Amino acid sequence: MRKTSIIIALALSMVITVGYSTTNDKEIDSLKNRIAVLETEIEIKTNIISDLETELMRANEALLVSEPNYNRISIEEKNEFTSYILNNPVDKEYLKDYHAILDSKEVVFSDMYYLEHSYKRLWEIEMEYAFYRIYPLVGEDEWDYIEMSQDNFVKCIENIEDFIYEAFTKNEYEIADDITQIKYFKNLYKNRTIELLEYLYILEEWNKPMFLFEVYSEDKSIIDQALAEINVIYWQDLETLLPLEHKLATLGPDGIKIFKLHGYELIHKDERYLRKFSVDSIDIYDMDNNLIQSIEVPNTLVPSGRLFDYGFKIDDWNFDGSPDISLFAIEGGTMKNAPTYFWLWDNEVGMFISNELLNEYSQTSYLYVDSDAKEVVCSYYAEGYHKTYYSWQDSDLIPLRHEGHSLEKDDNGEMLLYYIKEIYEEGEWIEIEKTLAEE
């Protein structure tokens, strides 16, 4: 009986072992089948990729063969406008400056940044010039549509800039390098300029220069330092002194005005110093290139790292509908001021007249206009930030309200910073709000 039990146990053990082995063999066979299927799929996909690569190579070869012929045909068939745009003076000058940087001993990031920022501003100016020139050539309804289209373009640019600020700059996040970002905006302005120029080309039938950049071009040879006649030399170790020429345009009730700045670019021998610019005169022309006025300017000094328009601004400072002009003079001090020269347009004499009141205010403040409220705002720093709002009454600025910080002692003698709001009534300042400033 015992022997029989042993035989039965051995038999059962063999059956179990065989069964387990059979199960493993089935799983292995299943895995082998799946691997075989995957290998087949990989082979099929590899063949497809290989076929696509072959087609791409053939397409590239066909493109290389056809490109010279395509270029020849396109050059033959393009119209006068296309030919002019492909050889426009702005891009030509940009390529000169670009290769000059590449050919230098060391390519510095700041040089490339300044190059792209300068030409971004240049295309923006060309866009404005083309836009303003359309005005006298179209009817009122058509101009309203064009103006609306231009406003939408500008708002689009502003929305992109706002997004970059809110999403990246404000949160101190890194973004793609600044040069790439500036080139993107530069190309937006360039493409918009070409659109406006093509419309202008149709309207004018090609009878006037298309680019402000090429109007009044002058010899850009190096000027001898001894003939520069700069009243104050801020740097003793100047390496070179180059002529400066900057043009832009604006549209007023009496038509287009073209502004041309003259001066010098100052380059220090030490590359760690930023380039600076000194403007000494402004010439103003009408749309037919007739000289309206020449303004002699006490020498200015503008750091290129901060401003890319040489400190020249066009705004309606007295809200009479005519554009006025201002020119940054020198860097301000600890009050965050911005000493500036102002000239307001006088319809009676047909000239820009220096405004000593604004000149004086800018010595201690940074001035800007609120066009919607028709107010001039003076911003400055003195133990905290301050803003004073003014309105025009005849030719005088009348204060309206003020807001800013004030340091005061409390009952325990501790200095506290308050934020105060005041209004100006009957020749006196009246405090209307006082709160403890946030840290």
What confidence score (pLDDT) does residue 49 get? Answer: 63
Q: Which residues of the chain are modeled with pLDDT < 50?
A: 1-18, 20-21, 65-77, 216-240, 305-306
Helices (H), 135-219: 140-164, 178-204
What confidence score (pLDDT) does residue 356 get? Answer: 94
216: number of Cβ within 10 Å: 15
What confidence score (pLDDT) does residue 375 get? Answer: 96
CA distance 227 to 319: 41
Q: Evaluate if pTM is beyond 0.85.
A: no
What confidence score (pLDDT) does residue 68 get? Answer: 44
What confidence score (pLDDT) does residue 224 get? Answer: 37
What confidence score (pLDDT) does residue 310 get? Answer: 78
What confidence score (pLDDT) does residue 154 get? Answer: 87
CA distance 87 to 169: 37
Report the candidate in 326, 291, 292, 321 with the shortest Cα–Cα distance to residue 307: 326
CA distance 287 to 134: 11
CA distance 281 to 296: 5
218: left (phi over 0), alpha (psi -120 to 50) or beta: beta
Residue 287 parent element (H or E) = none
pLDDT > 90: percent of the chain: 19
What confidence score (pLDDT) does residue 1 get? Answer: 45
Angle between helices 140-164 and 178-204 (to 10 degrees): 170
Contact 421, 404 (CB under 8 A): no
Q: What digits encode the pLDDT tens for the residues 300-357?
A: 877 764 455 778 888 899 999 888 999 988 877 666 788 899 999 998 999 999 999 9
What confidence score (pLDDT) does residue 317 get? Answer: 95
282: left (phi over 0), alpha (psi -120 to 50) or beta: beta
Q: What digits encode the pLDDT tens for the residues 147-201?
A: 899 889 988 888 888 887 777 666 666 555 577 888 888 999 999 999 998 888 8
